């Protein structure tokens, strides 16, 4: 016991890895992906350029970007058994659970072993990243009794996702909005799902296993699952015709967490929330859902004045997706569609300079207990 007296509950503040992937200044509200500020990327990059950046630690030239786009376009289709699973599983299944199982199943169609060269690992990252949007859209259409739409062999990840989901080609604005959401969610340091992914990689397990584990971690409401809960909260306020400020006071009085607020690292506004807030405002005006946006602002003000807690990435992403007509239980899947680029980037980095992840626990149980046979207990 005396050898390990201090416990960092939740590993708060522990630095366990070095990484080129992202830098967060939680005091200033600054986020950098591999050297580029999030505002610069939001203004200029495409999601595919961000993928390349996270896998290679540099931006692609035009030929490399064209090559990546072609590879992604050629990798979007799903193996028939995965499609069969998506069509035959329960229509009431949680989309994140289906996504987790389908990604795990994809591993059956690749040699499941430690990926041994960087090029091989990047190709696997491309394959997984390309197929996730197809899985999400296929399950949503299948559970709604609609035909599954095959991916196009052209166009961006954002375009294809919206096309496969809705069955019609998205306009330029919708594609741009989705692309921006994918850029904003791509990477974020040693969050719980990235840590999970690194821990799995550190055992020299394969990339499908690490992404499957990471999806399981992201699904939880304290992590990526919060965006769906934010929307449920806003819809609950609407259904009950409640006053949003009173609603939040009641939650706080009951010592409940308000979803979409708080962060382990940020002590100020999450820079992604700042960008999404602007998008949410603009979209709400365009679509006429201004009430939801106004409630969000009222909730933000209440959380700031009552608890001095700021919104995180999940707060305004909810209303952005809602304005795009996307069902709330797909929001965390969209987070996954993006974050897979960061996870696989970390996998590649971890595999290049690996050491088994193996912390310790402080044993607080008894010792030297006497054995009592079962029939005498
Ligand atoms: C993501 O790590 C990442 O980078 C994650 C992420 C990424 O991109 O990967 O940014 C994505 O996961 C965003 C977070 C989504 N989760 C939520 O929105 C769920 C609601 N938020 C919280 O439960 C909480 O803020 C966490 C889980 C995000 C952070 O938890 P911590 O660091 O363990 O903080 P805590 O729970 O110990 O809270 C500290 C204090 C407490 O008050 P006191 O007991 O000290 O009085 O702040 C309060 C908490 O009660 N608090 C909240 C709150 N968040 C913190 N009170 C009400 N509502 C909240 N949301």
> pLDDT tens, position by position, for the chain (377 residues)?
456 678 999 999 999 999 999 999 999 999 999 999 999 999 999 999 999 999 999 999 999 999 999 999 999 999 999 999 999 999 999 999 999 999 999 999 986 555 678 889 999 999 999 999 999 999 999 999 999 999 999 999 999 999 999 999 999 999 999 999 999 999 999 999 999 999 999 999 999 999 999 999 999 999 999 999 999 999 999 999 999 999 999 999 999 999 999 999 999 999 999 999 999 999 999 998 799 999 999 999 999 999 999 999 999 999 999 999 999 999 999 999 999 999 999 999 999 999 999 999 999 999 999 999 999 99
Give the distance (Å) from ligand 1 centre to CA of residue 156.
Answer: 33
Do 256 and 181 have their domain in common? Answer: no
**CATH code of the domain in which 230 resides:** 1.10.230.10
Do 334 and 267 have their domain in common? Answer: no
Give the distance (Å) from ligand 1 centre to CA of residue 322.
Answer: 23
- Contact present, 126 and 47 (Cβ < 8 Å): no
151 assigned to some structural domain: yes
Beta strand ranges found along the chain (DSSP E):
22-25, 30-33, 36-37
Candidate of 7, 262, 303, 307 to mutate for ligand 1, largest count of ligand atoms within 8 Å of Cβ: 262
pLDDT for the residue numbered 118? 86
The burial of 309, by beta-carbon neighbours within 10 Å (0-12 exposed, 13-18 middle, 19 or more buried), is given as: middle
Do 119 and 68 have their domain in common? Answer: yes
DSSP letters for 94-160: -HHHHHHHHHHHHGGGS--S---SHHHHHHHHHHHHHHHHHHHHHHHHHHTT-PPPPPPSSS-HHHH
Axis crossing angle, helix 313-323 with helix 290-307, rounded to the nearest 10:
170
Residues with Cβ within 8 Å of 22's Cβ and at least 6 positions away in sequence, in order, are 31, 32, 33, 34, 187, 188, 189, 342
C-beta neighbour count of 362 within 10 angstroms: 10
311 assigned to some structural domain: yes
C-beta neighbour count of 61 within 10 angstroms: 10
362 assigned to some structural domain: no
**Rg of the chain over all Cα atoms, to the nearest angstrom:** 22
357 assigned to some structural domain: no
59 assigned to some structural domain: yes
Which residue's CA lies nearest to atom 4 of ligand 1? 191
Handedness of CA 225, 190, 353, 70 (dihedral sign): positive
**CATH code of the domain in which 112 resides:** 1.10.580.10
Do 288 and 315 have their domain in common? Answer: yes
The contacts found for 354-362 with CB under 8 angstroms, 24 or more apart, are: 354/201, 354/202, 354/204, 355/202, 356/202, 356/203, 357/16, 357/198, 357/199, 357/202, 357/203, 359/11, 360/4, 362/1, 362/4, 362/5, 362/7
Q: What are phi and psi of 151, to 5 degrees?
A: -65, 155
pLDDT for the residue numbered 114? 54
Asked about 263 being catalytic, the answer comes back as: yes
Which residue's CA lies nearest to atom 25 of ligand 1? 262
| pTM: predicted TM-score of the whole model, two decimal places | 0.96
Which residue's CA lies nearest to atom 43 of ligand 1? 307
Do 235 and 148 have their domain in common? Answer: no
Q: What is the ipTM of this complex?
A: 0.98
Do 255 and 314 have their domain in common? Answer: yes
Do 66 and 190 have their domain in common? Answer: yes
Do 268 and 193 have their domain in common? Answer: no
> Can you give the residue range of the structural domain that contains 285?
226-323
- Contact present, 299 and 243 (Cβ < 8 Å): no
377 assigned to some structural domain: no
Do 64 and 172 have their domain in common? Answer: yes
**Integer CA distances (angstroms), 186 to 176, 180, 311, 340, 345, in order:** 15, 10, 18, 7, 10
- Contact present, 326 and 162 (Cβ < 8 Å): no
The CA-based angle 207-197-54, given to 5 degrees, is: 75
Q: Hey, is 183 helix, strand or coil? A: helix
For residue 311, the 8-state DSSP code is B
Q: Hey, is 261 helix, strand or coil? A: strand
- Contact present, 184 and 313 (Cβ < 8 Å): yes
pLDDT for the residue numbered 110? 80
Q: How far is the C-alpha of 253 from the C-alpha of 184, rounded, in Å?
A: 33
pLDDT for the residue numbered 3? 62
Q: Hey, is 237 helix, strand or coil? A: helix
- Contact present, 256 and 221 (Cβ < 8 Å): no
Catalytic one among 185, 263, 310, 346?
A: 263
Candidate of 11, 247, 258, 263 to mutate for ligand 1, largest count of ligand atoms within 8 Å of Cβ: 263
Do 153 and 297 have their domain in common? Answer: no
257 Cβ below 6 A of ligand 1: yes
State the first-to-last Cα distance of the chain, in angstroms, to the nearest integer: 29
Which residue's CA lies nearest to atom 40 of ligand 1? 262
82 assigned to some structural domain: yes
360 assigned to some structural domain: no
- Contact present, 206 and 358 (Cβ < 8 Å): no
Do 295 and 268 have their domain in common? Answer: yes
Residues with Cβ within 8 Å of 64's Cβ and at least 6 positions away in sequence, in order, are 52
Per the structure, the count of domains in the chain is 2
Do 173 and 238 have their domain in common? Answer: no
Q: How far is the C-alpha of 314 from the C-alpha of 316, rounded, in Å?
A: 6
Q: What are phi and psi of 26, to 5 degrees?
A: -70, -20
């Amino acid at each position: 016991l005396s050898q390990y007296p201090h416990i960092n509950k939740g590993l708060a503040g522990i630095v366990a890895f070095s990484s080129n992937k992202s830098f967060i200044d939680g005091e200033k509200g600054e986020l950098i992906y591999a050297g580029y500020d999030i505002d610069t990327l939001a203004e200029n990059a495409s999601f595919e350029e961000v993928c390349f950046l996270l896998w290679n630690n540099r931006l692609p030239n035009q030929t490399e970007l064209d090559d990546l786009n072609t590879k992604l376009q050629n990798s979007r289709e799903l193996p028939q058994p995965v499609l069969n699973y998506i069509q035959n599983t329960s229509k009431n299944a949680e989309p994140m659970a289906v996504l987790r199982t389908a990604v795990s199943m994809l591993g059956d169609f690749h040699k499941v072993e430690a990926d041994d060269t960087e090029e091989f690992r990047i190709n696997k990252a491309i394959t997984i990243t390309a197929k996730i949007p197809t899985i999400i859209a296929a399950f949503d259409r299948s559970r709604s009794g609609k035909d599954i739409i095959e991916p196009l062999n052209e166009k961006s990840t954002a375009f294809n996702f919206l096309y496969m989901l809705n069955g019609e080609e998205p306009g330029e604005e919708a594609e741009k909005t989705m692309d921006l959401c994918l850029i904003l969610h791509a990477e974020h340091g040693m969050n719980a799902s990235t840590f999970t992914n690194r821990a799995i990689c550190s055992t020299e397990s394969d990339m499908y296993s690490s992404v499957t584990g990471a999806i399981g971690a992201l699904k939880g409401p304290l992590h990526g699952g919060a965006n769906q809960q934010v929307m449920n909260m806003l819809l609950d306020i609407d259904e009950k015709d409640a006053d949003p400020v009173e609603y939040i006071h009641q939650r706080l009085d009951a010592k409940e967490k308000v979803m979409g607020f708080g962060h382990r690292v940020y002590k100020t506004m999450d820079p992604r929330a700042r960008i999404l807030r602007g998008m949410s405002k603009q979209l709400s005006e365009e679509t006429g859902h201004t009430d939801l946006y106004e409630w969000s602002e009222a909730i933000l003000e209440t959380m700031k004045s009552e608890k001095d807690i700021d919104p995180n990435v999940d707060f305004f992403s909810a209303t952005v997706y809602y304005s795009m007509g996307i069902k709330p239980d797909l929001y965390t899947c969209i987070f996954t569609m993006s974050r897979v680029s960061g996870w696989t980037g970390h996998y590649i980095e971890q595999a290049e300079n690996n050491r088994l992840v193996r912390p310790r626990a402080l044993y607080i149980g008894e010792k030297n207990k006497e054995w009592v046979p079962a029939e005498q207990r």
